[in-house]
């Protein structure tokens, strides 16, 4: 029996979400494990939402935003980078592998890249196994 991870994705409305749409329209194949929450900017993803996702049993969280220099809100992706770096540090301190949180940049024109990013992250989470099976994790 193979493990099918539950992955939550926070996708920037302007770039990553549009890239996901292009991937779908272009019929690029990618893992179907991702459940999407559309956000206006990757920099607005509150780390509390990420912690709650893991608390609820999500195996991996991906935050996908605009490339540096392309953010509709000028510095949102830099803010996302800082927040996710801090969030990974906290995850490590509470016993959750920081590799379960993934941050990357996908433009609206990169449907193929979106499919590759999602597939690669899904494979990474499959290798890590279910969050519930972690030895150090305590609810």
Helix (H) or strand (E) run with residue 19 in it:
helix 16-25
> Exposed, middle or buried by CB within 10 Å (0-12, 13-18, 19+), for 90?
middle
pLDDT at 139: 46
60: tokens are: 């991996």
Q: Tell me the per-residue pLDDT of 52-99, one tens digit each, with 9 for 90 and over.
A: 999 999 999 999 999 999 999 999 999 999 999 999 999 999 999 999
Closest to 33 (Cα-Cα) out of 112, 103, 123, 98: 123
By DSSP bridging, strand 34-39 and strand 60-65 are: unpaired
pLDDT at 132: 78
- Measure the CA–CA gap between 99 and 7, rounded to whole angstroms: 13
pLDDT at 69: 94
- Measure the CA–CA gap between 20 and 28, rounded to whole angstroms: 10
Question: At which residue do the structure tokens 């099976």 appear?
Answer: 133
Q: Say if residue 137's pLDDT is above 60.
A: no
Instruction: Return the number of other C-beta atoms located less than 10 Å from residue 71's C-beta.
Output: 22
pLDDT at 123: 96
Mean pLDDT in residue range 32-41: 97
């Amino acid at each position: 029996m193979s493990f099918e991870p539950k992955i939550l994705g926070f996708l920037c409305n302007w770039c990553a979400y549009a890239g996901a749409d292009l991937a779908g329209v272009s019929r690029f194949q990618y893992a179907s494990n991702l459940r999407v929450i559309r956000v206006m900017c990757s920099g607005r993803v509150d780390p509390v939402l990420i912690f709650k996702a893991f608390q609820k049993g999500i195996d991996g969280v991906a935050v996908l935003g605009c490339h540096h220099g392309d953010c509709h809100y000028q510095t949102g992706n830099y803010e996302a980078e800082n927040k996710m770096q801090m969030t990974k540090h906290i995850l490590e301190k509470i016993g959750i592998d920081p590799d379960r949180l993934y941050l990357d940049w996908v433009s609206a024109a990169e449907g193929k890249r979106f499919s590759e990013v999602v597939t690669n992250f899904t494979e990474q989470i499959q290798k890590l196994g279910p969050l519930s099976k972690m030895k150090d994790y305590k609810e």
